Amino acid sequence: MREDALLNLVLKVIDKFRKKIEESKYNRYQNLKIGVGTSYNFENLDGICPQLIEIGEYCVFAPKSVVLTHDASLLPTTGKYVFKPVKIGNRVFIGYGAVIMPGLIIGDDVVIGSNAVVTRDVPPGTVVAGIPAKVICTTRELAKKRESDLQEAVFDWRNPVTLKEIVAQQKQLMDKY
């Protein structure tokens, strides 16, 4: 019986710490300006001041992509940070591992390639890639180039994707390929 009591006590302490961690994470990410239909995780947003980020509607953030609002490169020598807001338009795709630096404006209908480092404003309707990111074409040109590869997904990307939908998508693709 004592072992059960000890186990319950340990579980209560762990639960209390978990709740505190979740609370602190929640408090850090209050008052965000993110449009409807945007798919992101907290890990995609600056960890110090995510409130300086404004994101439009129906954007997609791939895993490991991040939007920074601070630059700590001079912290060791000056003891100070640079903080600047970032504005991201509507219908923007930010590829896997991409980094958007502080103080930038990303226009509507933009595609940012995987692992790109965006150091300048990105005009609407463009595709950027590379380090530093450079304009490589328009989104219309990219869509036309990939027209034969485009296909409807089983799921609606604007809503959380369920395991059932992922399995259905996999089945559809395995039948095709």
Same domain, 84 and 122: yes
Q: Are residues 43 and 124 in the same domain?
A: yes
If asked whether residues 4 and 48 sit together in one domain, one would say no
Looking up residue 90, the CATH number of its domain turns out to be: 2.160.10.10
Q: What pLDDT was estimated at residue 135?
A: 98
Same domain, residue pair 68 and 134:
yes
Q: Do residue 47 and residue 66 come from a single domain?
A: yes
pLDDT band (50, 70, 90) for residue 111? very high
Longest dimension (CA), the chain: 70
Looking at the structure, tell me whether residues 1 and 63 fall in a common domain: no
Which domain does 20 fall in, by range?
1-30
Report the alpha-carbon distance of residue 30 to residue 108 in Å, rounded.
25
pLDDT in tens, 48-89: 999 999 999 999 999 999 999 999 999 999 999 999 999 999
Residues 81 and 130 in one domain: yes
**pTM for this predicted structure:** 0.80
From 88, 83, 112, select the one nearest 98 (Cα to Cα): 112
Specify whether 104 is located in the same domain as 175. no
What is the rounded distance in angstroms from the CA atom of residue 69 to the CA atom of residue 83?
6
Domain count, the chain: 3
Q: Express each pLDDT in 117-133 by its tens digit.
A: 999 999 999 999 999 99
